[in-house]
Structure 1
């Protein structure tokens, strides 16, 4: 037990208390309890204060009338430097600098389009405004803020915007549950999350803020949609949806549980055909596939693979066939993928898969003798297709025997190219033409006759595009984008249904089509917008007759596929963005976001950008130069091995930490690292972390020790390393401030120390620069900063306080820390610049964020790694002045001067030499020496050739 002495103005009481200390988070902030009349003052520690608050009877005081007055212990307030970076200093530092960092962020100079400074556009994927940040948010927005602050220090004009992906199903569901409209709920959440991001010290350009649910934003989503419609890329067709038969409503995939039941009603979900809106993304398959070649594979490798897999191989085209059922022309055409448009004149039939909607007895012909007998047999249908060029009728069958590499719904039967198609045509008595002669040229195909297959392939596709029935190069795998959602909280689709004119687009001057206000939202019904009867009724823009609005809203991916362009010109009332502004500021230099968005979101965003480029709104086809795909933040989960049930922390027994059990039953548990989730009870509230450790330590820890692309296993033990390093930096600055101008300047080895400090400084600065600038590995940059800090700590104080290069390097360390930990760096800098009055590379009259990022010395040396068969042998140095232009011959000459070279390489024959130069960082020369195995194989090959 520890005796705590608590003084009041009346008496001295002795209280027995056993404090609970956490080795990292212990808070020992000395405070004054002061009443409102400035009378009774009680000097107590923070731990004692918490004890007294929970035990008010000890002093017989009403603590509601008391407030905390912190004892000042911070240089920025007292001009006295605290010797230790303890919990008291940390808390005071955060309290003092938090509002000032936010003020600094707001006061930053506005972006000047006329400036000759280099621009840098760093973009983090905008969040859905759930109302509360999670650890994944903390990670991605700290990463983007570190990069933005780094490039500002590099002298660039940085674009670092933030907005809200505000439409979507969660807001609508929350509104239904709470009995309020989603706009109110969303607005409240945005305000809450904006405040949290500001408190996280994120230096976003809040003057560019946007929200996708704002009519001033979704007006332009509707505008782009109409431009796509005008370009022939938007159509309406019947498509399958998830249907809840009890609630009589359409469900999104995420509203269906693993057993196929609705999460609302519990009903077994059915598949139902409804008319849906589609965007013809398949028309851009080849463009999007080719665009991947423009991307840097070093940063995009995994994403390029995901995108190529999503798009598929562009080996054919999609063609639209009009359908007839007897004398009736059906509403929707049939779209068929084919690898052989050149053989279009040789089609004998169209085969549909057994899963196709036309596999229905009502469409079977009466002559289909296999009906009801052999379910695996092919079936002839009453529906027929119309040849898009000749107008001839093409029979259609349901094929149970068609062999295809990829699962497709419809297939062109061409007997000239397939034995199976020939047998099928003969079986049903279908007529057909031979369209390819023995030389591989096209015959019996009107204007395409006489062409080679490759020529005819291209010409038929061109003709199809000209006549509007397909022709764009695409894959069998990719499908068009279904954007219809039978929801309220989304962008209204700007189309009108007229009995006379059919589908009519809303005129551009009438945009936006705003969401109407509804009295309430209900679970039941096809679309909530059908309730807005006044909004629903409209005059047809074409004929002036009575018409109705489209009641579907757009997939939220539409809104998030172009937001990075609106940021650049968010107040433009005439266009989505100004072309000249976009051409000047695009592409995005660095895009940061979760790997879960690497397929769909990236595909749709690239599609939008390619379309807008073709439409004349942009000159850059690819929207993003560099991509940093951030890994997830994982939490440790515990579930019962027998049942799979996840347990809350208080339900787990840790008597044997290596083998935790369910506390109530003793059953063994499975311990895993999984994505943080409420349902798995493994989430961590960022606010609790920040309250305990502070913003500065939280920011540094989330980017520390783990590569951004890797998943991070979150543990509070990571704070130990960060706080230890910060403590070492603090003690280093303390040493300088304490001894500056007070230690004898005579030190015999100071010149040699200066040389070493300069060398170490440049080697580590090159490492830090490379990992900020090129790899975005902030974790590696931090490691280099730690190594540089440790080296500076090894320098004798007599040298340190009298060495300009030491004082400069320490100042630069503070500057380099500032993008990661702004408040910590600000306090260090205040003490440093008010004591060290001169530094050749810094402006000591300016704040730390107004400094410039340190540069490599022109006369320094960089590392040249020397390898043999890709294995490290030794390293030497190369002058920085020639590094970036280093030739293979120069690298060989430098490496050959090293004493190890002769010992290692002179006894071998060098077969080849490969040189790699990383700009402003280092070079690697790799000597290839044949191995014993290679020599044996070479001799055996020579013997074989002689035989």
Structure 2
């Protein structure tokens, strides 16, 4: 019987769908497992990154189902966002039509892989039944004082024609989505006050240690940026207060200049008339480079001086492009001797350097310094702090400032409030109106959802919602007068920050979800997604979960109990640097570069992340058609551990297909043999020696596969163990009926062990071989520790430390017998005859070493 993967996979996919095989019970027992992968944006075409991520999750879900857990494994669509709007402009269609068509396409592609989703719980963020509750949450935040609107400088992408949150600007100062240049623009915007939760978000990272990757925790900790220091109130030379925050009050006597953010509100009013034009030019220049990390640190003198309250000394005030207006007070004290950035700036603008922390050998002199001294030391040139250690001086400086009334201890965060306004159509409408009489007025909950109008013209430029009179013109809910509806829509991260909770009760039309049901399923036991979401989606989701807790919807503190960040899928890219052109693998095979006048040796080959721009992507549908879904699943799980990058290889997929063919052919070989049809049990003691060895190997394989999957999700080593077992099964010669019965049991267990990774072929073979019910209804196999112990081991014979022979020995072999066998070995005799045997050493369970001279 031929292994026809196409027929088999379609058969089982239809069966699972027709029988609703993966339907989730409404409320789980105590034994529940919620596995979730980050839901995709419906681009319309699945890529290998999706396949890798979703196969990991599906294998975990199927494994825990076999363990008897109630499983929640849903899928949905992060469906709002700029790509759909841009596509609408390009293809002259509507984003809704484009998005829903893409969802249908991607759903069909996902089903080709046989994933065990409960599609009854599907959520689509662009549909009113979902985004209504996003609006509901926003109103609740407004009620609690967590949502506000203010004007100010925002990050602006001209290409996307919208505002970006800080987290959405790359370190290179470009847009995270289109890679276009980001500039600053003054706009009235809506913000969520996530800073009210900064302390909790920071402290609760402790709860995730050991369950989340260390690097993700470190990235969030750095982004939140908790620092303990002091607020010190300096004074401008006109007598006005000038507060700053510092984490190094021990160095306060070393201040030689002050720096203020280039976009500090009221900066120009602070400058002297003589310096105002220079500062204005500097502001314009800084607006273009503010978000980049590799720009040159620059500044301009404001003409003003600031007085240090500790020593009454004056320090010049510079506007600088390295100071953040949003952090602390928007100004910093600069101590060039003990901060490298301050040092470089001081050298550039010929500002004095003053040493106030001395090193161990007392050798620091300002005039000889080539870099800042940033280590701890003893305080000098600092009046009341002299002679103190760095730590002692910090405490005393804060105490002194508090006592004198010009400072105090302060905890500060780098985390900024979440800017959620977007000047786009395809997003969740903000539920507010603007009334000339009443100001900003929230829409009553009874009027939710505020739906997007369909009569929209899409053109490159301003927000299309502004042009929809039917949408904009409304009445004020408070006074009944004329009002204008808010035309900004929400950041798509507001949709993805709570979807995991909606999955628990996906069709509730009275509430976002029933609290009793949600509390039974949450938190998510295993969350899977890319590390690129560490400081956006994952942080926002943690905040949203805590907010839902605080309004009584859910219990607990964190949404995701465990996090796995999967590696990327890599493939060879082929680039002609001369033509600035990438070739596909097929074009390389066909030597397409020769038609362009390029030599093969001039093509740069690099293993990198699959992407359309690098022409190194692989279409999963094409690979499935060639080799089958199970082969693709096997490959992406076998090529590397889930958290590591995976190098794509056509040969690797072919190897996975060969592995499945071997299983098919070997297991069906015994189908019609009478001894195999028997359902008799076997006695281990009646097994042949080969049979006992295989049965021990089988039990050790169960143990290893279970540990590899349950404890580490190392499916790659689990598959390797199953490949080893298959090799042993392939050479096994069945000697008696007990051997046949044992072999049948090994096949049954083998199919269950492989099922989470390759569900189609295993389920088909399980039925052909008449093992009774479906694997889907079976339990995970368990090993017997007794049979994990070997009866024999490999005993090595050495002569003068060099291996000369190996034999299989009984585990209970005595020292005398081991030595006797070694001396009797013909291979050993070849190196001992005619020589004096000085001594014979036995290392139990390992080797015999004969020392000769």
Q: TM-score, normalised by structure 2?
A: 0.73
For 1:709 and 1:419, the matched residues in 2 are separated by 40
For structure 1, which segment, 816-825 or 126-135, has the greater mean C-alpha deviation from structure 2 after superposition?
816-825
CA contact (8 A) 1:435 1:442 kept: no
Following TM superposition, by how much is the alpha carbon of 1:193 offset from its aligned partner in structure 2, in angstroms? Answer: 1.4
Report the more deviating stretch, 193-202 or 501-510.
501-510
2:761 alignment partner, SS class: helix
Pairing 1:356–2:263 present? yes
Give 2:119's aligned residue: 206
Tell me if structure 2 keeps the 8 A contact 1:102–1:198. Answer: no
- Partners in 1 of 2:743 and 2:459 — Cα distance? 69
Cα 1:372/1:504, change in 2 over 3 Å: closer
**Offset of 1:642 from its aligned partner?**
3.2
1:172-215 Cα offsets, whole Å, 9 max, x none, are 11111222211111111112211222222111011111111111
Q: Structure 2 residue aligned with 1:677, among 608, 611, 624?
A: 611
Determine the structure 2 residue equivalent to 1:699. Answer: 633
Instruction: State how 1:241-260 maps to structure 2 within 5 Å.
Output: 241=154, 249-250=161-162
Alignment of 1:853-872 (within 5 A): 853-857=780-784, 859-861=786-788
SS at match of 2:726: helix
User: Is residue 35–residue 73 contact of structure 2 (8 Å, CA) maintained in 1?
Assistant: yes
Matched residue SS, 1:637: strand
Paired position in structure 2 for 1:100: 15
The equivalent residue for 1:873 is none
Residues of 1 paired with 2:700 and 2:169: CA distance? 54
Tell me how far 1:856 sits from its aligned partner.
2.2
Determine the C-alpha separation between the residues in 2 that align with 1:241 and 1:615.
Answer: 30
Match in the other structure for 2:666: 732
Task: Verify: 1:812 aligned to 2:749, yes or no.
Answer: yes
CA distance in 2, matches of 1:576, 1:698: 37
Per-residue deviation, 1:242: 5.8
Structure 1 position 530, deviation (Å): 0.8
| Per-residue deviation, residues 656-695 of structure 1 (Å, max 9, x unmatched) | xxxx965421341101122222222211111111111122
Residue 165 to residue 786, structure 1, CA distance change in 2 (3 Å):
same
In structure 2, the CA distance between the partners of 1:877 and 1:855, relative to structure 1 (3 Å rule), is farther
The verdict on how the C-alpha distance between 1:223 and 1:862 changes in structure 2, with shifts beyond 3 A counting, is farther
Cα deviation per residue 1:458-482 (whole Å; 9 max; x = unaligned)?
A: xxx7xxxxxxxxxxx542x332222
Q: Which runs of 5+ in 1 are unaligned?
A: 1-81, 326-333, 343-347, 385-394, 422-426, 428-433, 462-472, 834-843, 864-875, 879-896, 905-947
Decide whether the 8 Å contact of 1:485 with 1:552 is kept in 2: yes
| 2:758 paired residue among 821, 834, 850 | 821
**2:140 paired residue among 227, 233, 256:** 227
Q: Deviations over 1:570-623 (max 9, x none)?
A: 122232222222222111111112232233221111121222223332222111
Q: Is 2:661 the partner of 1:759?
A: no
| CA positional deviation for 1:539 | 2.9
In structure 2, the partner of 1:716 is 650
CA distance in 2, matches of 1:451, 1:519: 59
Counterpart position of 2:455: 518
- Distance in 1, Cα, partners of 2:417 & 2:549: 20
1:314 and 2:241 correspond: no
1:899 aligns with 2:849: no
Matching of residue 588 in structure 1 with residue 511 in structure 2: no
C-alpha separation in 1, matches of 2:231 and 2:192: 14
Q: Distance in 1 between matches of 2:543 and 2:590?
A: 52
Query: Could you say if the C-alpha distance between residues 762 and 451 of structure 1 is closer, same or farther in structure 2, counting changes exceeding 3 Å?
Result: farther
Pick which of 615-624 and 168-177 moved more: 615-624
Contact kept in structure 2, 1:121 and 1:158, CA below 8 Å: yes
Match of 1:605 in 2: 541
- For the 8 Å contact 1:613–1:620, the answer to whether it is kept is yes
Whether 2:435 is the aligned partner of 1:498: answer: yes
Whether 1:798 and 2:711 are equivalent positions in the alignment is no
Q: Is the 8 A contact 1:318 1:474 kept in 2?
A: no
| Equivalent-residue separation in structure 2 for 1:405 and 1:241 (angstroms) | 13
Equivalent in 201, 206, 210 of residue 297 of structure 1: 210
Please list, as runs of the form range in 1=range in 2, the aligned pairs for 1:378-389 lying within 5 A after superposition. 378-379=301-302
Residues in 1 aligned to 2:126 and 2:72: alpha-carbon distance in whole angstroms: 23
Mapped to 2, the partners of 1:631 and 1:705 lie a distance apart of 11
- Which of these residues, 560, 579, 598, is aligned with residue 666 of structure 1? 598
- Aligned mates of 1:249, 1:641 — CA distance in 2: 32
What's the C-alpha RMSD, in Å, of the aligned pairs?
A: 5.0
1:351-500, aligned counterparts within 5 Å?
Answer: 353-356=260-263, 358=265, 361=268, 364-366=271-273, 378-379=301-302, 399-400=318-319, 410-411=329-330, 440=396, 457=409, 473-475=411-413, 477-500=414-437
Shift of 1:556: 0.5
Choose from 242, 260, 271 the match for 2:184: 271
Cα separation, 2, equivalents of 1:647 and 1:846: 50
> Who is 2:149 aligned against?
236
Alpha-carbon displacement from aligned partner over 1:278-334 (angstroms, at most 9, x marks no partner)? 2222332221222221124265222222222222233269999xxxx9xxxxxxxx9
1:820 CA displacement: 1.7
Q: CA deviation at 1:146?
A: 1.3
1:849 paired with 2:813, answer no
Once residues 192 and 146 of structure 1 are traced to their aligned partners in structure 2, the CA distance between those partners, rounded to angstroms, is 23
Higher RCO, Cα 8 Å, sep 6+:
2
